[in-house]
Amino acid sequence: MAPKEPTKGGKRSSKPKEPRESELKKLLLLLWDCHKASGAQIAVPAVAKHFGINHNAARLRVSRLKKKLNKIEASTKSGGQDKGEDSDKNGF
């Protein structure tokens, strides 16, 4: 007897689409704003333990991350005004 072929049942679930880079940037900036608003501090020893690096290396990574996020945030805010997204500036 020949083996039975599997039947096709319904639609195949497709892989979810990856968000666009701009959407990821918006979500990252939202998370960064929440972090700053909460006043929480990043636990450098926990970062060091998670990545298996020493305390100074973890502190440097956190410092670089904060600088990059602040730079992205500043460029987004200045870029948003150029595009007319700041409606208060125009009095609307």
pLDDT tens for the chain, residues 1 to 92: 666 776 666 666 677 777 788 899 999 999 999 999 999 999 999 999 999 999 999 999 999 999 999 999 999 888 754 444 443 443 32
Neighbours of 42 (CB within 10 A): 14
pLDDT of residue 86: 43
Within a domain: residue 6? no
Predicted TM-score (pTM) of the model is: 0.61
- Copy the structure tokens of residue 18: 């990856």
By residue range, what is the domain housing residue 60?
42-81
32 found inside a domain: no
* Torsion sign (Cα): 65, 69, 70, 72: positive
Number of folded domains that form the chain = 1
